[in-house]
Structure 1
Amino acid sequence: MLTMLLLSLITILICHLVMGLASVISKKMVLDREKNFPYECGFDPKGSARLPFSLRFFLIAVIFLIFDVEITLLLPLASVFNITSVFSWLFTSTLFLIILLLGLYYEWVQGALEWST
């Protein structure tokens, strides 16, 4: 028990030491003017490269990715149908779909799915 505690403390100490060392070594100069501007084939930039983007589009993209991952989690249910019992397969798939639909309903109620306001 004492050796596990000692090894844990040594591991935590080494991790903090490495993270602190990496933080000190990787400091970048904020005053470097050339690195702050976008590169356009050696020419001076026409306009600002820091254009704002639609937060709604970003939110829709994140929701799409979440539901896409959930669909990939749903795909193996078809392949395990013959291996498991019907009750456990039905219970698992129904519970997963209910959780998925509750998440969709929550996003709908919060207004995240409305493109224009």
Structure 2
Amino acid sequence: DIVMIFDECTPYPATHKEASDSMQLSLRWAKRSKDAHQGNENALFGIIQGGMFEDLRDVSLNGLIDIDFDGFAIGGLSVGEPKEDMQRILTYTAPKMPQHKPRYLMGVG
């Protein structure tokens, strides 16, 4: 089974500061989720946040990689943003995700 960490989905629209604060909160929760998950046999996935800002997506992904999750999800898309923004963030983020771990695109489909 797969368990998703607790995160905050950044609303759209959000300023860079709002998206950064939300993403940092999600990273703190990611660490707490990983710590609480110790000894659980289910796969734990980190959720990449950062709104529509590539630099924040990088910070989020790198922080989640450092925590070392079993898989990774892209969150915070399909929340009311234009389709072009969703595609831009997806095209930017997906190639940077670890190739050897499962991926999940949340809330789209």
- Which structure: greater strand fraction? 2
Query: TM-score, normalising length from structure 2?
Result: 0.27
- Which structure: greater helix fraction? 1
The answer to which structure, 1 or 2, has the higher relative contact order (CA under 8 A, 6+ apart) is 2
Query: TM-score, normalising length from structure 1?
Result: 0.25
Larger radius of gyration: 1
